[in-house]
Structure 1
Amino acid sequence: MTSHPRPEAVADAPHTRYSTRLYNADIAPRGDDGHWRTWDLFAWWMSAWHSLGNYTAAVGLLVLGLMGWQLALGLCLGVYIIYVASNVMGTAGQKVGVPFPVFARASFGVFGSNIPALLRAIVAVAWYGIQTYLASVVVMVLVLKIWPAAEALTKPNFLGLSELGWFCFLGMWVVQLAVLYRGMETVRKLSDFAGPTIWVGMFALAIWTLGRAGWKLNWNYHIGAAPLEFWPAIGAILAAAFLLVSDLSGPILNFADFTRLSPSRKTVINGNRLGLLVNGIAFCLVSVTIALAALEVYGKAINDPTELLKDIDSVTILILSIVLIAIATAGANVVLNFVSPAYDFSNVAPHKISFRTGGVITAVLSIVITPWNLYSNPVVVNLFLGGIGALMGPLVGIIAADFYLIRKTMVDQHALYSDDPNGKYFYGRGTNMNSVIAFVIAGGVALCIALVPAFSAISPFAWPIGIVLGVAACLVVNRIRPNLQARTEDLQAQAAETAAATE
């Protein structure tokens, strides 16, 4: 059973000409029956927003010294930036109709596309493991509430995790793998269910916390002796916005994995408008509300909602809350961090690695990295995930510039699966050195900004700076070293398409 039915377009085309090194049924072009509609993308974004990691990241930005309302403003601005970027990458993926690693072949070459694909996969595997661990912590709270004697199993005894911790982690691990193993249609159904479900839990948690706080919120709360002055506050608001964007920079990059299954550009834009803007802004406002309400109860903002759950006395309500949060975290984890590396690993050797096999590789690696140890070490998170995450901006910039500004949105879908040395996207030995050079330049600067202490003041802006540098480097390098064959053939294809439309 493949991850989705074989597309009609491939069945009708001479797909026997496709290289087995570049093609399998899971990464085939979309057929005429794109089935991810507006509602599916709406639910996708509901699932994408609501995770323990996103909540912790959003509330944790209070350390910037912002007041509650300023943080809410910065987060909403970040949502809008994500909306714009997701439209740019999402509509491109929908037009070409192929998953992200295949889409990247046009700009990086049929084999060179493994550079952006595997970098994205590394980030996704790490976050997949961390999110699975966070979901297992929630399950542990439930187990301990129902079975207090299990406290004896909570002492770390193997690779830093307790017996109960391993049981809960592997339980969540198996459930998520089972979803992905059944293919993209099951992922869509999980997203459709998990998205609306978690809103019930989020609103319930917000109302319960507000009730305990006496329905009082201090929107002027801030960390520090005095609120920030005007210009420092503006800088901190912008920093909060772009840090939120950076948190979702990976999903922005590989958004084509989902939008390529949509029937039209309008579907993608409407899905993003409703699902991303509405859900994103609501998520940010509810998250800040819960944090400020917790401040009234505990005297400090709580950036881990599992801490709030421990105070629920009713076992029934606790079970319901934990089940909802576990479903939400699993849903977010699958759509954000599981699908992408499954495709990315499949892209390395499609004749050997299917979508399912790529998912198994992702799941196994998520255990190997012991994510609980990774998550508990801020230095490792900043250096490893922060460093590689900083490269997502340059990749978005280069791929978008190549598609929109150099190719004028014209890509030969079938040539993406050809390893003919004279093929349009083979370039030199299967790699477009123009994009590699641009990436080394833009990525090198982005890494310095993200990791070198001397640039700490502008490190929150590594993502937008990386995008701007990626676009500029791509355009400059392609002007100096133009790929004449690919450029000419794409323009000829565009002219032929225009002529056919006017006949």
Structure 2
Amino acid sequence: MSAPAAPREKDLARGPSDATVHPASYLEDHHRSNHRLYNDDIAPRDGHGTWGTGNLFNWWMSAWHSLGGYAFAVGLFALGLNGWQTLLGLSLGMLVMLGAANLMGVAGQKAGVPFAVFARMSFGVFGANIPALIRAVVAVAWYGIQTYLAAMAVKVLVIRVWSGAAAIDGAGFLGLSGLEWICLLALWALQLLVLQRGMETVKKFSDFAGPTIWVAMLALALWVLAQADWKLDWTTHFGGEAPTFWGGAVLVCGAAFSTLSYMAGPILNFADFTRLGSSAASVRRGNSLGLVLNGIAFALVSVVIGIASAEVYGEPVTDPIALIAELDNVSLVLVAAIAVSAAQVGVNVICNFVSASFDFAHLWPKRISFKIGGAITAVLSIVIMPWKVYSTPVLVNTFLGGVGALIGPLFGIIMADFYLRRKQRVRVADLYTDGPQGVYHYNNGVNWRNVAAFVVAGAVTMVIALVDTFSDLAPFSWLIGVVLGGLLSLVFQDRNHPVA
């Protein structure tokens, strides 16, 4: 379908000085019929956004406050770091992450479109299906895994408060007991219900879920500290002998960029949320408060629990569910398990569910809405049997590690293209135009130059992530991918092609 008549020139482009232009009105008139690129769910923001600083602060609380966030933080001890080195690495990683989150967050707020639509600038209106599909695959896999982990937390709660639960925890089907299936499907349905009610409900649930886990984390911290007689050894290296000064510095840097890699996926599709931001300033403030202030506080409590649990059990406990199960107060178990489960649902919805739903809607706008994309995500998350994926480290490292290694090059290409090449200018109307006159049409809708940059940079990062010879560089695969992808994008660019 060729594009309809172009709208007024003043509506076409947004740059640093015209971020308040909102083109939804003319898109409804001129582009609604273009079902190859447009539906109501992936349309640009209409009017000023409703997500303020507080909402984004809670978004980051939901993103960090999870079983995975704790397990990742405490898992850094295995690299050979002691307590203060682990906290330093986590803190440095969050500071670097703040820069990346501000880049993508402000870009999303300025353009007012979901991530997959935003990627059309760099990859073409049809070529953007490449980053959309990659992000969707990663999101579906982690969505299933996180749902399974949350279900196990609920199982702990049920067994502690209902003695008859043990009777249905034995018989199994496809690797899960009857009780585990009940817990899994209950959380699966709850998350689907949240998403089916739209982004405003997602915002409200995020505002609730993010803070709730502080109840459980503080309770666990106080309990395990009491068990350890309030002793904390910040200098013990749980992963082996103490490294040299320079070896320790390398390990701290590796921990920092591993932290960034842990959140690389949500940062890539951060525009799905910040497109609803009320202003660029509110995005930056929300990131600073939620990511740096709250993130470092959560890291501190996680490290304290890890060190204290090592004092009690001989090694750091990476699974907070195991600690919850040890609590000797049923009421405290109830509160802690509910808080952890709510937080787990929160992180799953905002970091995985929303992204995959938008990405599937982008692949076929005519047939797939945001809600249908959510249903597809939910079904696939069960089909892949995430409990088997999670229990197979080789599969996690090979598949998810390999696909995840492609996130860095995508981020580098899109950010270099938007900030360095286009100088933050975007023709929003052309993001929904499939005719050759559209600036993002390129070659039949695909920017093959950036596709080539992605293939080269992605091949390098996958080798680094998956080949044992380069294991020392693996923690830096995201950074290498960002730099290499961005540089190749600028080198391969067509200087005769208009940027806006």
**Normalised-by-shorter TM-score class:** over 0.9
Q: Which residue of 2 aligns with 1:59?
A: 74
1:138 positional shift:
0.4
- Aligned residues, how many? 479
Residues 237-290 of structure 1: per-residue CA shift (max 9 Å, x gap): 111111111110000100000000012110100010111111111111110001
Alpha-carbon distance between aligned partners in 2 of 1:360 and 1:14, rounded to the nearest angstrom: 26
In the alignment, the residues of structure 2 paired with residue 191 and residue 223 of structure 1 have an alpha-carbon distance, to the nearest angstrom, of: 35
Corresponding position of 2:185: 170
Structure 1 residues 225 and 25, CA gap change in structure 2 (3 angstroms)? closer
Question: Which deviates the most, 192-201 or 106-115?
Answer: 192-201
Say which is worse superposed, 212-221 or 177-186, in terms of deviation. Answer: 212-221
Partners of 2:48 and 2:419 in 1: CA distance:
25
- Give the structure 2 partner of residue 38 of structure 1: 53
Residues 435-446 of structure 1 mapped to structure 2, 5 A cutoff: 435-446=450-461
Letter matched to residue 77 of structure 1:
L
Q: Does 1:85 align with 2:100?
A: yes
- Matched residue of 2:316: which SS? coil
Code of the residue aligned with 2:336 in structure 1: it is: S
Q: How far is the alpha carbon of 1:297 from its aligned partner?
A: 1.5
Which residues of structure 2 form unaligned runs of 5+?
Answer: 1-20
TM-score by length of 2: 0.94
**Alignment pair present for 1:217 and 2:232:** yes
Paired position in structure 1 for 2:18: none
Deviates more, 1:177-186 or 1:412-421: 412-421
Shift in Å, 1:32? 1.6
Identity value in percent: 55
Contact kept, 8 Å, 2:87 with 2:300, in 1: the verdict is yes
User: Aligned residue for 2:498?
Assistant: 486
- 1:15-30 alignment runs, 5 A limit: 15-18=29-32, 19-30=34-45
Q: Does 1:390 align with 2:398?
A: no
State TM-score, norm by structure 1.
0.93
Unmatched 5+ stretches in structure 1 = 1-6, 491-503
- State the 1:315 CA deviation: 1.4
Report the counterpart of residue 216 of structure 2 in structure 1: 201
Which segments of structure 1 move beyond 6 Å, counting only runs of 4 or more?
none
- Structure 2 counterpart of 1:494: none
Shift in CA distance, 13/125, structure 1 to aligned 2, threshold 3 Å: closer
- 2:474 aligned to 459, 467, 470, which one? 459
Structure 1 equivalent of residue 307 of structure 2: 292
Structure 1 SS opposite 2:473? helix
Structure 1 stretch displaced more, 396-405 or 217-226: 217-226
Whole-Å separation in 1 of the counterparts to 2:319 and 2:27: 52
* Equivalent in 277, 293, 296 of residue 281 of structure 1: 296
Q: How does 1:75-474 map to 2 (within 5 A)?
A: 75-155=90-170, 157-474=172-489
Q: Tell me the CA shift for residue 293 of structure 1.
A: 1.1
Equivalent position of 1:495 in the other structure: none
- Take 2:250 and 2:42, find their aligned partners in 1: how far apart are those partners? 42
Give the equivalent residue in structure 1 for 2:25: 11
The 8 Å contact of residues 58 and 284 in structure 1, kept in 2 or not, is answered as: yes
CA displacement at 1:421 relative to structure 2: 2.5
CA shift, 1:14, in A, is 5.2
Displacement after TM superposition at 1:224 (Å): 4.6
What is the RMSD of the two structures over their aligned residues, measured on CA atoms? 1.3
CA distance in 2, matches of 1:434, 1:357: 32
SS of the residue 2:472 aligns to:
helix
8 Å contact 1:32–1:263 — kept in the other structure?
no
Change (3 A) 1:69 1:156: farther
Contact 2:238 2:315 in 1 (8 A): no
